[in-house]
Chains A and B, each alone.
Chain A
Amino acid sequence: MSTLSATQQRGLLRLGDALIPGDGDMPSFSESGCAEYADRILVSMYSDDRAGLKGVLTLCAILPRPLIRKLFAMTDRHENAPEPVAGLLRMANVGIKGFLMTLYYSDIGGGHVFSKMGWDPVVHRQPQEPTDGAR
């Protein structure tokens, strides 16, 4: 996570765990190991989007955890707000949720998220050998 400062990394784990706390079987955001891959998304973002996200992560490093969750829940209720406030809330919601969900639900951190969801699509790169019965 070299694109993020130590403070921002801490904020990412706190924000991630607020949204994805684990449920006893599926790991929490921080337990999943996915935060290690944040750089791979951050480098492909527009610079002003990346700066905005880093600001949010810095804030999450210092805010009390219940407040982090409350603030995010507020962005989730954007439909209740008038424009242009609703637009800003939507932008925060999609930006934050998109970043965290992409990290966690790409299942690249070794948390075995997919197997716990039963997500098992495959593509066989070579044609399978016919079984004995099909010969």
Chain B
Amino acid sequence: MLSRMQLELAAVAVVFVLGSLAVIGALEHEIGWASDGPQAGYFPFRLGIILIVASLVIGAQALASGARGRELVLSRESGRRMIGFFLPLVGYVAIAQVLGLYVATALYLGFVLRAMGRHGWQATAGVALGVPLASWMLFEVWFTVPLLKGPLERWLGLA
């Protein structure tokens, strides 16, 4: 599904973009060397250049890697497992932004255990409700660290 060379090139592209961002961001400031030493943009600018150069060299090496570059780093089956894990995670974080961490945690665990793990309703409900409850005890009560709350907690008068 994904060869080493494809992944190498994708990684190098990300590094290149991050390096360019560092250079662009640094140019908003002085990037030179004043009498009191380097200015605010001095380091970000040079770090960006290092990243850009390194990404180009690594990219060239990857293109020249031959047989090693063609070997698979992700088989179709592993890829499917990974996507099956990753998409619910993205959904979890998206829901947490709106409904808060407690509700999102319960929904995420409920979905993953039932749909992906194929566990029974009892085990699913136990874990999906048990973990948020335990987090509530641990964080809100014991450590008094408030977690992200949403409409449900406000409606219940808990936030």
A in complex with B = no
